[in-house]
Structure 1
Amino acid sequence: MSSILVVEDESAIAELISINLRHAGFEVVLAATAEQAQVAIDGVLPDLVLLDWMLPGQSGVALARQWRSAARTRDLPIILLTARADEADKVNGLDAGADDYLTKPFGVGELLARIRSVLRRRAPQALDSAVEVAGLRLDPGTHRVTRGAAEVRVGPTEFRLLHFFMTHPERVHSRAQLLDRVWGDHVFIEERTVDVHVKRLREALAPVQCATMIETVRGAGYRLAQSGAVSH
């Protein structure tokens, strides 16, 4: 489930966007000012930011420039929301580092299409970078999983499953969500198939004392716990 930070000072618009995004399966965090948005970003990086141009205090464009200049937020996907429809304003917004630009008023369908488009465009970058959690390292470029000097042997499906868990640590994912994100939403597979691959993944991680990182959350699904690895 992708998380979206909605930075919008008009509460009625923010609430309407939030309801529609949650209905479409996104996690939503709301912020009404640039300061609140920065606090949210400092806590947890979202998968995408919907950023209103006109905010009290610091503008959305200034905030976008600030995020683009910082290493941690340089690649953060940003869609600017604005009532400004002039070509020059659009150029200014994109120059500030926005990935896309949506003029108010806009339809829910267009908003969701733009969000999914930006997330798809950004996804290949994320797939290439190595990720490490609690000493366990996964490198998509070399297709290797290691802990220290030890290499973990995993099959291709378990590799994709582990990659998804490691790029979304501590979040609980239902079997349906895992099928959607790891196998693809057009593949007709039984949800219990997820259990089989989780079992295989745990078996593969056992020799490097990382099997307990993959936790079963009763009645909800699975999550990867950052504190689950056993010390060497």
Structure 2
Amino acid sequence: MSHDKQVALVTGGNRGIGYELVKQLALNGFKVILASRDPEMGHEAVQKLKGLDLDVSCVEMDVANQESIHQAAVTINENFGRLDVLINNAGVYLDENKKLVAMVPSILEKTMATNFFGVYHVIRSFIPLMEKQGYGRIINVSSEYGAMSEMSYPGAGAYKLSKFALNGLTRLVAAEIKGDIKINAVDPGWVSSDMGGPSAPRTPKQAAESILWLATIGPEGPNGRFFRDRKQILW
């Protein structure tokens, strides 16, 4: 097997959009690492994909636990020595339809721990692997709920704030990174998954396709932008 294969890591890769991203990346010739908080579910997902003859392995990673992220980074560095694509897909939606100031504060804290700090710590832990080879593509799965205009409407406050902060992080990191490393945020749309529910209009496959092109953009490609269906949208 060739050692020149690009390596991709997808967080929250055992189901929904994440699983579909792992599958599509592998079908496109990537060596893919599926990160899952639950090792059993991760292993199960990998076995399914291996049945399709895809180059996929799994790593246990809870993005709300810094030690877990650090361990995964050490493992990936030892086993692969490189990381070309990082997709920050793991996320939670815990809102209970209460006003932001009336909700149990731990709901906001848990949401930020995964959707914002989780992504921050993953990026921090894996950017050195990208800097080592002067190349990397980072994609943050965000939401139109994180757009500035959404802050003018009540509801889903914890989720909105977490994605708003994630969008800000995307722009800040883009402004700071050097070399051919690019970071962008994507709104996958309303997807039928455990999070989106059964009545959502889009399939995980459609969502994955709208995200994946950012994994292979050239050096002249976008950096620090926000996309939906390959079109740039406003922050």
Structure possessing the higher relative contact order (Cα contacts under 8 Å, 6 or more residues apart): 2
Question: What's the TM-score once normalised by structure 2's chain length?
Answer: 0.41
Question: What's the TM-score once normalised by structure 1's chain length?
Answer: 0.41
Bigger CA radius of gyration: 1
